[in-house]
Amino acid sequence: MGGTSRPAHLRRSNLVTLCRRCHDRVEAHPEVARALGYRLDRHQDPEETAVWASSVLGAGWTHLWDDGSVALSPLPAPAPAVSFTA
Ligand SMILES: [Zn+2]
């Protein structure tokens, strides 16, 4: 199991639970994952980067906050032009 010396990696806004299949897709397609908000560059703030997700709130660009709250983006935004393919 991997680890990190960067406390920022453990922020709640930086954590997304994925099933094995989705995790494998993120790992296999890093550029798609980056476009969908599942991979961030070190300089990116996870609270300021939405992730394309489907949840009980609906599907869309979703903001994750360090206090554990989740919100769909209040601004209409187009669906991403990329997607994971099997
Ligand atoms: Zn999945």
State residue 86's pLDDT score.
56
Distance 25 CA to ligand 1 centre (A): 9
State residue 79's pLDDT score.
75
Could you tell me the mean pLDDT of each successive run of 10 residues in the chain, 86 residues long?
67 93 94 93 92 88 94 79 75
Distance in angstroms (rounded) separating the CA atoms of residues 79 and 77: 6
State residue 4's pLDDT score.
65
Helix intervals (H) in the chain: 20-28, 30-35
- Gyration radius (Cα) of the chain, Å: 13
Distance 33 CA to ligand 1 centre (A): 13
Distance 53 CA to ligand 1 centre (A): 10
Domain residue ranges of the chain, discontinuous segments joined by +: 7-72
Residues less than 5 Å from ion ligand 1, measured at CB: 19, 22
